[in-house]
Amino acid sequence: MSGNTERLNTALAGRYKIAKQLGQGGMATVYLAHDEKHDRKVAVKVLKPELAAVLGAERFVVEIKTTAALQHPHILPLFDSGTADGFLYYVMPYIEGETLRGKLNRETQLGIDEAVRITTQVADALDYAHRHGVIHRDIKPENILLHDGRPMVADFGIALAVSAAAGGRMTETGLSLGTPHYMSPEQATAEKEITGRSDIYSLASVLYEMLAGEPPHGGGSAQQIIMKIITETAQPVTARRRSVPPNVAAAIAKALEKLPADRFESAKAFLDALANPTFATVGVARGPRRLAAVGFGIPAMVVTGLLIAILAAAAGWLSARRGVAAAMPPSRLAIDEPVSGVAFSGIARTVDISRDGEKVLWLATHPLGARVLVRRLDAPTAQPVANSASMLHLKFGPDGRSLYAASGASMQRISLEGGTWTPITGMERTSFYSFSKDGELWWSSAVGYGTYRRGADGRDSLVFPRSTINQVLPDGRHAIAVAVTPAANTGSVQYLDLRTGEIKGVFDSPIVEVRYTMGYLLYVTSDGRLMAAQFDSEAGVITGPHMEIATGVSVGGGGIAQFAVSDNGTVVYIPGASSDLVRVSLSGNLRVIGDMPRRFHSPRISPDGQRIAFDDVSPVEGRDVWVYTQGVTSPTRATFQRDGHDVSWMLDGRGLYYASGNVGRIDLFSMRFNSTAAARAESVGVEVAYTGTPLPAGGFLATVPGATGHGLDIAILRPRAGKADTVLASPADESFAVPSPNGKWFAYISDHSGQPEAYIRALGGGTTQLQVSLDGASEPMWSRDGRQLFYRRDTPSGAELVAASLEFGAEPRVVKRTSLFDVSNFDTASPHANYDVSPDGTWFVFARRSGSDHVVVLQNVPELARRLARGAAAR
């Protein structure tokens, strides 16, 4: 459990016992808990700390009590609410099932009868609540739970309670309450008086999506969607699905009227119309109409302002075509995908935005396994990319229709419109590559630190030996880069002439990465600050002050900042992430080891169980190996190459093996404690995907780049002989190789069956193979006595650690599989396990992530920078 979860458990002791986190939304985190007084499962929702900070606890509790009296078969009741140790919470029944959003993500469109049934039952709940003076204000698929197919409306009145308790100070929280696809026009224009007819509009929008597969209005940004809600009549649902009955289409059209008075007078009237085959209304077949054609009862001043905004948007578009930022106001949004979190990598890019600013992609954690998600900013949800579980170094192709990424040691490409991954010959895995507008590719080595140009013949030429390219500029003749060395993760900004090879310094302040958009340089510092400075891209000089745009951008070793920029001034980034080192017993009891939040990676327990080695990704200190000793407050740094990682203990516990790329490629190194000798390269003449594990008979079992040019293989590295012997190779991915303690067997993960599963094989040869897992696996790890194999298994509700008990007779076999405890909040790694088991088999060490659960979207950053500069000048 996280520190917050432990603190919450303490605060609620005697009332509720938290079992695990179920998910997060825009306002709250939801936990599965046990109601100790009534002996039942409940869902406890805890408001986000930044939201609770501006709410008065007493006011919140008073406001939320208005919903407690609601009793209806389609309303999820409110059991309890209160404040404890600074937490504001409310309690509801725990419902086995899924949300309507989950069902729509899976099916896109529902059957007409089913969609109408769900809507009429929700409408009945709304009618009941409205008659009792309660308006929901936030009807959307995420707030409709399906229990055995029966809808139940959740969070009834919570939006009202929060907004009322906040006293109009919601903007102080910095939180987004989600995409506005289901918002009524009166909500969009911030009307003070919201009636039940607003809920009717929202419910009609949900029904529209259930039938058509998308909400009535879409757009590239929240502003665009809101503008359409206010100014455009939705396309008739029959234009998107002809089989919708006329009365249903007519009822939807009436419920979606802009003027509240033109909608149904009650939710019951709406459900009656849906059930009445003869219901009809004038103008059902009309097409989209705009503000200039009709009046909506919006005050004249608001109408005039909207027209001005539309004209300003058009003028801004023309200005953007000339390289000047648009006049639309800047905005700060969050992509908070249901169920999924955001995976963090300190050494690879895991977020990007398309050149046109319409699509965002990122590597997401998910109960069914990590994968890359792509989301259009005008879409309600994201879509997963096929077979993307192990993909890193993410980047949109120049047309925004393809994805470049790395699997194993090779870069690959896939069409986002459907297809398979295709290797890119000769290009090493890297996060530093950029396309000019004509599609020419420039890339920088993540190991050798030089920048290459890929010619039309597919060959690479080294053009800038000591520069890491960040972006080719719009003119196609210049680029911006960072001057780096193997011993640094930051550098000065450079202006490169791609035709002559000339390099000019832009400014010397060390930064992690830099981008250009619409007359501004945007760059990230080592402490995660996003900065902007006006820039003359033709002369390559700064022409304005440096302004701080945001803080908390995730940065790591190897010159990686988790941010990306589009041509239209939109920026996306992953907020800063860190992790704790935690000790977990076989029963799942957890305690934090020391007080040292870092970006822990690959923790390994020493043979005597007294020390834990790990590597830490730091933008200041680089990436190196540290050792924590039981009973000592702070860890000790063990390597100083600024690129030491993926550690393994020597079998006698007197030293470490680790990987480093400072020699120009990833190689193995060894270092002994209490020795004055420098770390020694264990060169074997082959690049490794990670360090590997020492074998009793000598050498290392390691995962290596696939000999077939795709995926990963398994080999024994023999440094003394200067060679590597392949143990297992195929067109599939074979990874996570780890030998048994006696050196006779090895465990690994292979996806040759269509999904990753855990297997064991004899290490000395032979064809004996045993499939250990049955329904997916990753990160295998042996017990020190070799009688159990642990592995991670993803489940529909999260992930768990499984112990497979093994028996070795004439043939190995699995005796029993036991689920140990939930590991959903623990970091994963590839192609090796990101945890370890103690020598006595009674406890484990994990890296528990904390930080990012969303991607931040900043729109029109150049305009934000101008406003900040004007404000600074005025002061």
Catalytic residues: 138
Dist. CA 337–CA 340, nearest whole Å: 6
Dist. CA 237–CA 212, nearest whole Å: 6
Judged by DSSP in three states, 795 sits in strand
Amino acid, single-letter form, for residue 362: W
How many residues are given for the chain? Answer: 875
Dist. CA 229–CA 223, nearest whole Å: 10
For the record, the structure tokens of 223 come out as 């502003």
Q: What is the CB neighbour count within 10 angstroms for residue 26?
A: 17
Dist. CA 714–CA 700, nearest whole Å: 10
Output the CA–CA distances (angstroms, integers) from residue 765 to 159, 182, 409, 743, 758, in the order listed.
64, 61, 26, 12, 18
Buried b / exposed e over 862-873, threshold 16 CB at 10 Å, is bbbbbebbeeee
Query: Which residues does 595 contact at the CB level (< 8 Å), separation at least 6?
Result: 633
Q: What is the DSSP string of 373-427?
A: EEEETTSSS-EEPTT-TT-EEEEE-TTSSEEEEEETTEEEEEETTS---EEEEEE
Q: What is the CB neighbour count within 10 angstroms for residue 425?
A: 10
For the record, the structure tokens of 367 come out as 């109960």
Question: Is the distance from CB of 631 to CB of 597 less than 8 angstroms?
Answer: no
Dist. CA 63–CA 60, nearest whole Å: 5
* Owner of token pair 């484990």: 844
For the record, the structure tokens of 731 come out as 């067109």
Q: Using CB atoms within 10 Å of the CB of residue 786, give its burial: 0 to 12 exposed, 13 to 18 middle, 19+ buried.
A: middle
Output the CA–CA distances (angstroms, integers) from residue 665 to 124, 347, 409, 447, 690, in the order listed.
66, 15, 11, 6, 12
Q: What is the DSSP string of 178-224?
A: ---TT--HHHHTT-S---HHHHHHHHHHHHHHHHHSS-S---SSHHH
DSSP assigned state of 832: S
Dist. CA 527–CA 520, nearest whole Å: 21
Dist. CA 651–CA 628, nearest whole Å: 18
Amino acid, single-letter form, for residue 676: T
For the record, the structure tokens of 496 come out as 């490169």
Strand partners, 351: 362
Query: Which residues does 815 contact at the CB level (< 8 Å), separation at least 6?
Result: 805, 806, 807
Strand partners, 542: 535
Strand partners, 541: 536
Q: What is the CB neighbour count within 10 angstroms for residue 50?
A: 11
Buried b / exposed e over 659-688, threshold 16 CB at 10 Å, is bbbbeeebbbbbbeeeeeeebeebebebbb
Q: Using CB atoms within 10 Å of the CB of residue 720, give its burial: 0 to 12 exposed, 13 to 18 middle, 19+ buried.
A: exposed
Among 281, 378, 336, 348, CA closest to 661: 348
Among 714, 718, 680, 683, CA closest to 698: 718
Output the CA–CA distances (angstroms, integers) from residue 763 to 107, 314, 695, 728, in the order listed.
45, 67, 10, 10
Question: Is the distance from CB of 524 to CB of 553 less than 8 angstroms?
Answer: yes
